[in-house]
Amino acid sequence: MSSITDFVRRLDGLDFGGLYGEDFFLTWEKSADEINAVFTVAEALRCLRENNVSVKVFQSGLGISVFRDNSTRTRFSFAGACNLLGLAVQDLDEGKSQIAHGETVRETANMVSFMADVIGIRDDMYIGKGNTYMRAVSEAVREGKREGILEQRPMVVNLQCDIDHPTQTMADMAHIIRHFGGAENLKGKKIAMTWAYSPSYGKPLSVPQGVIGLMTRFGMEVTLAHPQGYEIMESVEKVAAENAARYGGKFSKTPSMAEAFADADIVYPKSWAPYAAMEKRTGLYGNNDFEGIKKLEKELLAQNGAHKDWECTEDLMKITRDGKALYLHCLPADISGVSCKEGEVAAPVFDRYRSPLYKQASYKPYIIAAMIFLGKFRQPQRVLTRLAEKKKPRLLA
């Protein structure tokens, strides 16, 4: 298949060896070439599947999913990615495991990994906990491999933590790249990552942080907008500023949603909880202070309620670039008059972008599959070429 030859040629021009045998935690821990390799392999896998070519590169093995927060898109995207590559999926339901009886992270990680090639973890609700937990699992299985307990070390993929949501933001970027006809066309494009009102509280910080941490690597003008009091992690803002300086883009902040939307090529209005409140929430849960949690929830809902005007409306969309900005959301969105009385986005705006939003979500299984593929194969070009040459049909005619 000539298109696979093109993908292989693109990979030949990239230095991505650091992905092999490693985990995927934060996008800014990976080099520009490594990020581009994930996009390239994701495109190649999608191309093969769309041409009815099986990409089952594993004849056996498990993908272990650990979801400590509710999920639809990411849960099924991980399962789809594993199945695409030939791995069976087993969800670790902590309520049905021995964790409640005192089983340690080290023990659990090894016990579920005897036949596992990848562990996908979503742990996003508690500041200072999620990413730390993922790294503890990684170290446990590394030790298991060193000690001869495990025949292979399963890689760990961050399916969303308290810091970043790499599979989401890379799916977002894959959608953006396709929409604008290539990554080379993104330099100077303005993206508005803005807070938006929600009638619920405690939404994770990882999407806005992941967006500013990734999009600033493509020479884009990234504007972060939120009301006073909805700050994110300073350390991630620092990453965004450094990326912008390094890759020729811009990173700015504003307390005005309208200012962020003005002449924007892409808008991403999404609610999140204040960093300080999420820190406090983590401490309250750690102390089993459930009365304190209830009090904090009321305070945060009242704080949100003071900013109901932070809604993505048709009037705001009109001031974007030619009134035609690409609207993004990680879903599910709080749609005014549909899923809630007042929310993040007006129903007419959401309805107009429904199909593009679903296409945006469709990239995630391929991004996850590409992360696994590059983590497991030292020479992915050779594997892709063999798959294309073999042309084993996914569906028998």
* Mean pLDDT for the stretch of residues 354-372: 98
Same domain assignment for residues 220 and 349:
yes
Q: Name the residue with higher pLDDT: 157 or 125.
A: 157
Q: Decide if pLDDT at 2 tops 60.
A: no
Same domain assignment for residues 134 and 280:
no
The answer to whether residue 56 sits within a structural domain is yes
pLDDT digits (tens, 9 = 90+) for 172-229: 999 999 999 999 999 999 999 999 999 998 899 999 999 999 999 999 999 999 999 9
Closest to 264 (Cα-Cα) out of 325, 215, 182, 313? 325
Same domain assignment for residues 288 and 356:
yes
Same domain assignment for residues 111 and 237:
no
Alpha-carbon distances of 57 from 60, 128, 167, rounded to whole Å: 9, 36, 21
Q: How far apart are CA 342 and CA 335, in angstroms?
A: 7
pLDDT at 98 (0 to 100): 67
The answer to whether residue 395 sits within a structural domain is no
CA dihedral 368, 369, 371, 374 (to 10 degrees): 180
Q: Is residue 387 helix, strand or coil? A: helix
CATH number at residue 129: 3.40.50.1370
The answer to whether residue 369 sits within a structural domain is yes
**Which alpha helices (H) appear in the chain, and where do they start and end?**
2-12, 32-50, 73-85, 105-111, 130-146, 166-179, 206-215, 234-247, 257-261, 275-286, 290-305, 314-318, 347-352, 354-362, 364-376, 380-390
Same domain assignment for residues 150 and 281:
no
pLDDT at 94 (0 to 100): 81
- CB atoms inside a 10 Å sphere around CB 319: 14
Q: How far apart are CA 27 and CA 134, in angstroms?
A: 15
Confidence class of residue 127 from pLDDT cuts 50, 70 and 90?
very high
Q: Decide if pLDDT at 1 tops 60.
A: no
Q: Is residue 13 helix, strand or coil? A: coil
pLDDT at 352 (0 to 100): 97
Confidence class of residue 397 from pLDDT cuts 50, 70 and 90?
confident
The answer to whether residue 397 sits within a structural domain is no
Q: How far apart are CA 228 and CA 111, in angstroms?
A: 46
pLDDT at 101 (0 to 100): 63
The region, left, alpha or beta by phi > 0 then psi within -120 to 50, assigned to residue 55 is alpha
Residue 252 — φ and ψ, nearest 5°?
-140, 165
The set of long-range contacts for 15-21, using a CB threshold of 8 Å and a minimum separation of 24, is 16/374, 17/378, 19/371, 19/374, 19/375, 20/374, 20/375, 20/376, 20/377, 20/378, 21/153, 21/155, 21/375
Same domain assignment for residues 200 and 55:
no
Same domain assignment for residues 177 and 294:
yes
Same domain assignment for residues 301 and 384:
no
User: Which amino acid is it at 307?
Assistant: H
Closest to 174 (Cα-Cα) out of 311, 3, 371, 374? 371
Same domain assignment for residues 147 and 35:
yes
What percent of the chain has a predicted confidence (pLDDT) above 90? 95
Confidence class of residue 100 from pLDDT cuts 50, 70 and 90?
low
The answer to whether residue 318 sits within a structural domain is yes
The number of distinct structural domains making up the chain is 2
Q: Decide if pLDDT at 278 tops 60.
A: yes
* Mean pLDDT for the stretch of residues 313-320: 98
Same domain assignment for residues 214 and 94:
no
Containing domain of residue 234, as a range? 172-361
Give the list of residues 6+ apart from residue 391 with CB closer than 8 angstroms, or none: 1, 53
Q: Decide if pLDDT at 244 tops 60.
A: yes
How does the average pLDDT of the chain come out, rounded?
Answer: 96
Same domain assignment for residues 254 and 213:
yes
Q: How far apart are CA 334 and CA 343, in angstroms?
A: 5
The answer to whether residue 396 sits within a structural domain is no
Confidence class of residue 3 from pLDDT cuts 50, 70 and 90?
confident
- When computed from its CA atoms, the radius of gyration of the chain, rounded to whole angstroms, is 21
End-to-end CA distance of the chain: 19
What percent of the chain has a predicted confidence (pLDDT) above 70? 98
pLDDT at 102 (0 to 100): 72
Q: Decide if pLDDT at 293 tops 70.
A: yes
Q: Name the residue with higher pLDDT: 103 or 14.
A: 14
pLDDT at 93 (0 to 100): 85
Same domain assignment for residues 152 and 207:
no
User: Which amino acid is it at 337?
Assistant: G
* Mean pLDDT for the stretch of residues 137-147: 98
Q: Is residue 255 helix, strand or coil? A: coil
Alpha-carbon distances of 95 from 99, 100, 101, 288, rounded to whole Å: 8, 7, 10, 18
User: Which amino acid is it at 233?
Assistant: M
